Amino acid sequence: MFSRSATRVLKSPYALSAIGARRAMATAPQKVPMSRHEPNKYINYQRIEDNLEVVRKRLNRPLTLSEKILYGHLDNAAEQDIQRGVSYLQLRPDRVVCQDATAQMALLQFMSAGIPEVAVPSSVHCDHLILGESGAEADLARAKEVNKEVYDFLATTCAKYNLGFWGPGSGIIHQIVIENYAFPGALIIGTDSHTPNAGGLGAAAVGVGGADAVDVMAGIPWELKCPKAIGVKLTGRLNGWTSPKDIILEVAGILTVKGGTGAIVEYFGPGVESVSATGMGTVCNMGAEIGATTSVFPFTESMGRYLVSTGRPEVAEASKQFAHNLRADEGAKYDEVIEINLSELEPRINGPFTPDLMTPLKSFKETAKEKNWPQDISACLIGSCTNSSYEDMTRAASLAKEAMDAGLKVKSDFIITPGSEQIRATTERDGLLEIFRKAGGTILANACGPCIGQWARHDVKKGERNTIVTSYNRNFTGRNDGNPATHGFVASPEIVTALAFGGSTNFNPVTDTLTTPSGKPFKFSAPNGEELPDRGFDTGLNTYQAPPADRSSVDIKVNPDSQRLQLLKPFKPWNGKDIENVPILIKVKGKCTTDHISMAGPWLKYRGHLDNISNNMLIGATNSENGEANKVRNQVTGEFDAVPATARYYKAHDIPWIVIGDENYGEGSSREHAAMSVRFLGGAAVIVKSFARIHETNLKKQGLLPLTFNNPKDYDRISPEDKLSILGLKDLTPGKPLTLRVTKPSGEHFDITVDHTFNENQITWFHAGSALNHIAKSRK
């Protein structure tokens, strides 16, 4: 499947200063390949130029950068309704990217639609199924053996339907995308919530569910509610210990996990120029933690340098020529503006249990004592899709080397995850990984690993309180190691590395000293690093499989007895009736992320098998009736049982059911299994105070009713033993509320108003039973 290639070094034959020396073109640049892997697919800057000419005449106002990118990709710029926060845009993305866990279901859906090949450039990346335990070599070998069935399915499906395939060991999807595929002004959708990482190269990259990806791969316009625009003005310059990670940790503290919902976060101002392209990627990556549709930066010289360094000088040149459309217009208006002075910004540590609980590093020691967080740091982990750039690794290595030169070793477990084979090969060549090894670190495979719960941790028992600090993006309860008592904190790789030597929440590496073996005091200097490797990038081993020229003979097999893969059967269409007197499966209390609804970790192996993965549905959610997880009352038998088991009982007896939820329901990952399992096990609706964006769309795509209480206080009027009816479905109309009738065990009932955000097109999904059903029907 894969071949070992001669090592290549990506180094530009000329400096970026030469770019743009040619006369600027009057029209958009022509015939620039989208990537070296797709030499016959070209960047379509002319489409953006033409669309914006139409939109400018219609709106007659300055445009933000995010508006330029989105409106530049409109399917019909002349007739599309354009109102921020109101309209549903019909868009034509440049690319679809899928990680291996979500790709299984996306490709199974695509196969069932009967379409011969993908309509836009698409790729699959094997990064989620590699368990971090012993080290890179052993972990990767085990993953290839354990997941062979899935990898073979993905590889042959990609070959059959004309997708690029990045095999296990190639790296994390988002790092591969920014190294190979992203370009300024691109519109990319990806089946992973951290797809916005590509904003580091000025792309509007949006995390979506697999059903959205299927639409685009099938040649259907992608639908997105027109986002609002949040502007973040950066002034000053990054310096000392402060890193790009601290920018987004600060923004997360300001906006919280739902403050960016329905909006694109757009960075601008003079401070932008002091941030590297990969640093911008870090900021955009973690924008997912504030619920933002995506995040984006304007085209800068650092983006040009990165493009040149990764072997794409022609893209850098074209972007410079097109720069007028790769930044906001003068006078563009934002719905909200935040200002951050980078010269005054100090390091932050966010957590535990949520990425928006921000504590300045200078206050962390006292706050940890006050909150009684575990003092000893059991593990420090750096890398991941968020922070594994060359710059990140060199800055972290500078600290590790300084400490080792003083005779110090790490006091906490120290784990390093390179983001890609290119990063691994380059940092190995330049001696950075050897510095980490000598310090006592363990190098894991080029994969997500502990960041997504793929961590076979043996140093603490489940339920044991402990503290870990990571340079990752997400730290929900049990996220990294499956232990709800692990206090996970998020910081920059520099701070994480220094804390590995300090080993305690009581140590502030900026101000405090450590004692060396010789008894002398040691104080870290500020980290220093290199934005890009002087010797260019070493691409390492070739783990990329291009689709063959002749795809007709490619055979895809799915064993009907497989426990990992299962062909899909269409969901039933709506029966034309209201939903009447159905039970509440669970009334969820408090935070309910997609990790609560459909856990990752050991469940990742079932992502291609809907029946098996449904056994984890809502097992992490807290039941308001008893304050316990995965224990709900069967409203027919009166017995308590696991949530999936109770749902299966209702399904077997042809009884639809409803979930009641709290605020920002479904925040976190883009995983559509959190919606598909609910539909598969017989759910009819999910009614909550508010939804996270991606999850609400995923529910609609699967033919479910995502509804919100018109008055959030009505959540408290509903008890788990009530029966519910949803009235008015025959007249389901955009903007028209529905009626929820609540019937008490006594027989008394009352009606409350519930809202929805369905548009006309989405109503056809509900009627058909799913968006996929609608696609398949429309192709007949």
Q: Could you list the active site residues?
A: 127-128, 192, 474, 669, 671
- DSSP class per residue in 120-156: S-EEEE--SS--BSS-HHHHHHHHHHHTHHHHHHHHH
Amino acid at 376: D
In angstroms, the Cα distances linking 541 to 162, 432, 502 are: 22, 18, 36
Inter-residue contact 169 to 175 (CB < 8 Å): no
State how far the Cα of 539 lies from the Cα of 531, in Å rounded to an integer: 17
Which one, of 129, 131, 125, 92, lies nearest residue 107 by Cα? 125
Three-state SS sequence of 329-369: CCCCCCCEEEEEECCCCCCEEECCECCCCEEEHHHHHHHHH
* Structure letter (DSSP) for residue 247: H
Amino acid at 40: N
Q: State the first-to-last Cα distance of the chain, in angstroms, to the nearest integer.
A: 35
State how far the Cα of 73 lies from the Cα of 322, in Å rounded to an integer: 15
Burial code (b: 16+ CB inside 10 Å, e: under 16) for 431-450 equals: ebbebbeebbbbbbbbbbbb
Residue 451: phi and psi, rounded to 5, are: -60, -35
Strand partners, 443: 416
Inter-residue contact 505 to 373 (CB < 8 Å): yes
Region label for 589, one of left (φ > 0), alpha (ψ between -120 and 50) or beta (otherwise): beta
Residue where the block lists tokens 């590509």: 198
Which one, of 168, 128, 142, lies nearest residue 603 by Cα? 128
Q: CA torsion sign, 297 to 475 to 174 to 6? A: positive
Residue 155: phi and psi, rounded to 5, are: -65, -45
Strand partners, 751: 741
* Structure letter (DSSP) for residue 746: T
State how far the Cα of 445 lies from the Cα of 204, in Å rounded to an integer: 28
Inter-residue contact 611 to 680 (CB < 8 Å): yes
Burial code (b: 16+ CB inside 10 Å, e: under 16) for 526-553 equals: ebebebbbeebbbbbbbbbbebeeeeee
Residue 269: phi and psi, rounded to 5, are: 105, 170
Helix (H, G, I), strand (E, B) or coil at 732: coil
State how far the Cα of 171 lies from the Cα of 126, in Å rounded to an integer: 7
Specify the long-range contacts of residues 142-149, CB closer than 8 Å, at least 24 apart: 143/168, 143/445, 143/447, 144/168, 146/605, 147/564, 147/605, 149/559, 149/562, 149/564, 149/565
In angstroms, the Cα distances linking 704 to 102, 291, 517, 658 are: 20, 22, 63, 10
* Structure letter (DSSP) for residue 429: H
Q: Read off the tokens for 366.
A: 């006292």
Which residues are CB-neighbours of 475 under 8 A, at least 6 positions away? 350, 351, 352, 353, 354, 355, 488, 489, 490
Amino acid at 284: C
* Structure letter (DSSP) for residue 548: P
